[in-house]
A and B are shown apart, each in its own frame.
Chain A
Amino acid sequence: MYSVLRSCNSGQAYVARPDGEFSQDIHEIAERLCPSGHEVLTDAGVLLVIRSPDGIEYSLFKEGKVLVKTPDETVAWEVVRSVESGFDA
């Protein structure tokens, strides 16, 4: 679902956008991720702010964009892959 990760202009975050059309429900994704230690910090409707089990904060947007608050690309990829694991097959 995600094959490209871009550094945010700030250098403090990475952004991944879905490769194709995104039709998942972000609240359902969050529900599936919670048992593995992801914690929803804020529900702003159009996006969820979530903390990963490793303590990395990320935002999951309604249109499928994921913004990971880390300057470390490897860490950002790990978070993005974990988000994908919550997708409805």
Chain B
Amino acid sequence: MRVLALLSGGIDSPVAAYLIAKQGFDVDLAHFDNRPFTEEDYVERVLSLGRVIASRTDRQMKLYVIPHGENQSAIGRECERRYQCVLCRRMMLRTAGALAEKEGYDALVTGDSVGQVASQTVENLLAENSASPVQVLRPLIAMDKEEIINIAKDIGTFEISSLPGICCMMAPPKPATRSQLDRILAEEGKMDPGDLTVSALEEVEVHVLGP
């Protein structure tokens, strides 16, 4: 089964990609490039993480780098601020899902772990799910942070993921933690997610990593 694992640059998503690859899934990676709302060289960190995962699983992987800055801007301009994170994550699932359908992947993989951050409550995850046209696998969903960190240290991604970095500037001061889908859909209706997805997919860069 071919899956597309979302790689953020943080601690969790490389572990999720690694674990799913170890289960025998054929894994490629996708990163949403958050510039200008992060450092200019952040993609380099993600490429390094991708190389470690490819090396540790002894396979060649593609890493799709998908522009996400305009998505973030559109949400910031049009939508209620506290929904920024949920709407951002819906845009990522929608766009990665469209890429998955186009390139023949059966599912997406994310590093979500329930309750870890404001955007990863059960309510928010439910409100995010419907954006993806393909199944979303979450291998870390019930793991605690220490377990995830230990695996990250074992596979050699922890040091890269822990490098200093500017937090996402678009994160609102008080993010919604119990989003309801009907409200989220109303907010999303203020912009044009379909057009944004098409635009982002026109600008995808593909890197080939590993042996």
Contacts and interface: CB of A to CB of B under 8 A. Distances in A.
B166 A42 contact: no
Q: How large, as a class, is the contact surface on chain A?
A: 20 to 34
Q: How large, as a class, is the contact surface on chain B?
A: 10 to 19
Contacts of B69: 42
Given A41-B36, A46-B81, A9 B167 contact: yes
Main secondary structure of the interface of A (DSSP, over half): loop
Interface string A56-71: 0101010100010100
Nearest to B69: A42
Given A42-B36, A42-B69, A69-B39, A47 B166 contact: no
Contacts of B164: 9-12
A22 to B, nearest CB: 13
A56 to B, nearest CB: 12
B39 A44 contact: no
A10 B84 CA distance: 22
Interface of B: 36-37, 39, 69, 72-73, 76-78, 81, 84, 164-167, 169-170, 172-173
Interface of A: 8-13, 41-47, 49, 57, 59, 61, 63, 67, 69
